[in-house]
Homo-oligomer: A and B are copies of this chain.
Amino acid sequence: MTPQRPTMNDVARSAGVSLKTVSRVVNGETTVAPDLAARVQAAVASLGYRQHLGASMLRRNDRRTRTIGMLLEDVSNPFSAAVHRAIENEARGRGVQVLTGSLDEDPQRERDLAAAFAERQTDGLILAPTGADLGHLAAHTAMPVVFVDRTPTGTTGDTVISTNVSGAAGAVRHLVARGHRRIAFLGDHRRLSTARDRHLGYERALGRRAGPVVHDLHDPLAAERATIALLRGPEPPTAIFAAQNTITIGVVRALRRLGRAHSVALVGFDDFPLADLLDPPVTVVAQDPARMGGAAAEALFERIAGYDGPPREIRIPTTLIPRGSGEL
């Protein structure tokens, strides 16, 4: 015996008008006589009527749910969380809500969640791809997709990425200019375009003089172990370029443990909170996740509005922030 939520019909009966008149008032059409409109408003207020957006969109011509989907690596990591917030900010002004999901680098979840969003008729999707083939997205023709942080595999679309190659090259050149010759690269899964691009920048900066390279690190612990192994190895590097923020943190922990924080230089890709309060403060190539999320959302809303040009690549510049660890 729950009190049923009132429908337009209830409002119409209560106001003594036709259903259609209520619909007109609720949708702000101006072709309703003022007195009728007032009666309808009163009935809406007294019954606590709220439009049923699902039913409305079902019949409507534009078929918009005013909802978009967002799939990132992990909503709880600072980079993803900042992107998320920026997307929300763009959506807010448009009265659009955001469905979110974390992929944890799992292509299966990527497929399932994209499908779950499509079943819910989200107007569009912003996706940080896991690196797996995205051919399955073609099934959801009504849902434009914009990629963020990483370039897609097996499909195309507007893509918002950092200037990974030049940013990484700049970081490494910064170390070279400080006299370092043996500079290690610690990187994320090679499957990811970000890891590949940052490695490419590293190689461009060093050429044949490239130092030890460790790939496929993905959490601080793995990075910490890799760092320790490198520094205890036969030809220890004098500087380290960490291609991702979780890796940077692992390297910091390792240098601390070995008491080498002030003797081995470090530059990390992607800034992180409190990097300036560590000892030494950590030099980073900062990305601009807020701008990335904002640009991705803007591009998506253009697509939703019907823009039909060729796929665009939007490159967000990175900034080297020298704080100390890279200037030893």
Contact = CB atoms under 8 A, between A and B. Distances in A.
Interface residues of A, number: 53
B101 A99 contact: no
A252 interface: yes
Name the prevailing secondary structure of the A interface residues: mixed
Total identical chains = 2
A119 B53 contact: yes
A75 B88 contact: yes
A52 interface: yes
Contact of A48 (B77, B139, B274): B139
Interface string A219-259: 00000000000000000000000000000010011001000
Contact of A54 (B54, B74, B277): B54
Interface in A1-53: 2-3, 5, 48, 50-53
Contact of A277 (B2, B74, B252): B252
Interface of A: 2-3, 5, 48, 50-55, 57-58, 65, 67, 74-78, 81-82, 84-85, 88, 95, 97-102, 113, 115-121, 139-142, 249, 252-253, 256, 272-274, 277-279
Contacts of A57: 54
A123 to B, nearest CB: 12
B54 A58 contact: yes
A274 B252 CA distance: 10
Contacts of A117: 97
A137 to B, nearest CB: 12
Contacts of A272: 273-274
Contact of A5 (B75, B76, B142, B277): B142
